[in-house]
């Protein structure tokens, strides 16, 4: 491997010259364009030359010509990413690759406009994420002629994609588990991180629905600081209140772990003094004291499912995107 790089790109013109054919014929072979009669011998000759020269079609030119790129952008949340998330992206990418698309991800930043600039640079066929995009970015995507945007910008915050699976469904399942265990006074523990306020509100709303269905009072919502003393303070406040909750739905496993640590400091333990259920099933959950009961979802399946829905929408079918809560289930350990 020489250090000098001539830096000359191998184009389809090169393989045309190599085979003595025209560039058009080469293109027909490489894309197996239908309604073209090309003898097997020629076909072989082209493929061989292409492989020998190491020809790779230049995507920008292809995109320019065809008007649409085969890229799909997935916006990753900046909240702590479980291995779950990697699996989600992995499976979604697999499904999309099968359909000829290429998946790239983009980590969300607080500065708005980043996603918009990205879409201007990529001209992707579709963009999807787990929560609604800021209007500024949506505008940029529209200008970049992005075909499909998920969740759709016009959907209210109540019935969009994020709400259906990652939020409402999870919160509901948390509360249902606690209710099945006999609890009647339930609280919701929310993080005080504003970045996830919409998500946490959604999960709490799901829990509230489950309580209403069971004829129970709506759960109180308390922000929980992510340090031991702060969490202990919240627990003390709960126990001092007139209708003290006996169980709590934590926004996620980290909030739940904070609560368990706070209880430990107060000499309390779960589930006896207070049952705690988390969400996401992060690896640390099983090592907590006591091991944390939580909600897991098979995000691999979810990713594949979502990707398929996206493909259908790209094909023009007006598709409703309310996802069935595929494989979301309770992982029962000891804390609830």
Q: Which residues bind DNA (CB under 7 A)?
A: 9, 11-13, 20-25, 27-28, 30-31, 33, 36-39, 42, 55, 57-58, 61-62, 64-67
Cα–Cα distance measured from residue 8 to residue 96, given in angstroms and rounded to the nearest whole number: 31
Burial 263-283 (b: 16+ CB within 10 A, else e): bbeeebebbeebbbbbbbbbe
CB-nearer residue toward DNA: 34 or 215: 34
β-strand pairing of 102-107 with 126-128 = unpaired
**Among DNA, its own copies, none, what binds residue 240 when CB lies within 5 to 8 Å by partner kind?**
none
Q: Is 288 in the site for its own copies (CB under 8 A)?
A: yes
**Among its own copies, DNA, none, what binds residue 23 when CB lies within 5 to 8 Å by partner kind?**
DNA
Give which of 159, 103, 164, 112 is closest to 133, Cα–Cα: 112
- Identify the residue among 22, 44, 52, 104 touching its own copies (CB under 8 A): 104
CB-nearer residue toward DNA: 67 or 242: 67
List binders of its own copies among 112-131 (CB under 8 A): 114, 117-118, 120-123
Q: How far is the CB of 118 from DNA (least distance, A)?
A: 17
Q: Is 249 in the site for its own copies (CB under 8 A)?
A: no
Cα–Cα distance measured from residue 308 to residue 164, given in angstroms and rounded to the nearest whole number: 17
CB-nearer residue toward DNA: 1 or 41: 41
Q: Is 136 in the site for its own copies (CB under 8 A)?
A: no
Cα–Cα distance measured from residue 147 to residue 53, given in angstroms and rounded to the nearest whole number: 35
CB-nearer residue toward its own copies: 104 or 180: 104
Residue 56 CA from chain centroid, whole number = 31
CB-nearer residue toward DNA: 5 or 65: 65
Build a one-symbol-per-residue string for 195-234: x at contacts with its own copies by CB under 8 A, - elsewhere.
Answer: -------------------------------xxx------
Site of tokens 């269905």? 213
Tell me the two tokens of residue 205: 């709303």
Stretch that binds its own copies, among 77-85, 157-165, 176-184, 215-223 (CB under 8 A): 77-85
Stretch that binds its own copies, among 26-34, 76-84, 168-176, 233-241 (CB under 8 A): 76-84
Tell me the two tokens of residue 171: 């919160």
Nearest-5° Cα angle at 211, 172 to 334: 60
Cα–Cα distance measured from residue 50 to residue 12, given in angstroms and rounded to the nearest whole number: 8
Give Cβ neighbours of residue 18 (< 8 Å, ≥ 6 apart).
49, 52, 53
CB-nearer residue toward its own copies: 9 or 37: 9
CB-nearer residue toward its own copies: 78 or 332: 78
Q: Is 51 in the site for its own copies (CB under 8 A)?
A: no
Answer whether the bond into residue 271 is a cis peptide, omega within 30°.
Answer: yes
CB-nearer residue toward its own copies: 14 or 176: 14
Dihedral, CA of residue 172, residue 247, residue 81 and residue 332, to nearest 10: -80
Q: How far is the CB of 78 from its own copies (least distance, A)?
A: 4
Q: How far is the CB of 68 from DNA (least distance, A)?
A: 11
CA distances from 89 to 118, 146, 157 (A): 18, 20, 23
Taken in order 155, 160, 161, 162, is the CA torsion positive or negative? positive
Cα–Cα distance measured from residue 299 to residue 332, given in angstroms and rounded to the nearest whole number: 18
Using CB under 8 A as the criterion, which residues of the chain lie in contact with its own copies when the complex forms?
1, 7, 9-10, 54, 56-61, 63-64, 69-71, 73, 76, 78-83, 85-86, 89-90, 93-94, 97, 102-109, 111, 114, 117-118, 120-123, 140, 143-145, 154, 226-228, 253-254, 257-258, 260-261, 264, 282-284, 286-289, 291
């Amino acid at each position: 491997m020489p250090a000098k790089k001539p830096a000359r790109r191998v184009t389809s013109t090169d393989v045309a010259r190599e085979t003595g054919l025209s560039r058009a014929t080469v293109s027909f072979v490489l894309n197996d364009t239908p309604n073209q009669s090309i003898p097997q011998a020629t076909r072989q000759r082209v493929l061989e030359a292409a492989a020998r020269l190491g020809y790779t079609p230049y995507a920008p030119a292809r995109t320019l010509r065809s008007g649409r790129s085969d890229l799909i952008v997935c916006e990753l949340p900046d909240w702590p990413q479980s291995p779950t998330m990697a699996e989600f992206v992995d499976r979604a990418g697999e499904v999309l690759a099968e359909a000829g698309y290429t998946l790239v991800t983009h980590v969300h930043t607080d500065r708005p406009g980043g996603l918009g600039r990205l879409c201007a640079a990529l001209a992707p066929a579709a963009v999807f994420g787990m929560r609604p995009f800021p209007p500024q970015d949506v505008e940029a995507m529209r200008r970049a002629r992005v075909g499909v945007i998920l969740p759709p910008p016009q959907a209210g915050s109540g019935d969009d994609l994020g709400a259906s699976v990652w939020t409402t469904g999870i919160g509901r399942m948390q509360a249902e588990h606690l209710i099945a265990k006999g609890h009647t006074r339930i609280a919701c523990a929310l993080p005080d991180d504003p970045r996830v306020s919409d998500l946490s509100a959604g999960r709490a709303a799901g829990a509230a629905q489950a309580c209403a269905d069971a004829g129970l009072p709506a759960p109180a919502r308390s922000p929980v600081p992510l340090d031991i003393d702060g969490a202990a303070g919240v627990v003390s406040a709960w126990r001092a209140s007139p209708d003290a909750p006996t169980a709590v739905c934590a926004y996620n496993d980290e909030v739940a772990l904070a609560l368990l640590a706070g209880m430990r400091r107060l000499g309390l333990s779960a589930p006896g003094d207070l049952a705690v259920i988390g969400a996401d099933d992060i690896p640390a959950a099983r090592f907590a004291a006591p091991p944390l009961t939580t909600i897991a979802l098979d995000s691999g399946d979810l990713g594949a499912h979502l990707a398929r829905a996206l493909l259908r929408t790209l094909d023009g079918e007006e598709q409703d995107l309310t996802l069935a809560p595929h494989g979301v289930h309770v992982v029962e350990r000891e804390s609830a």
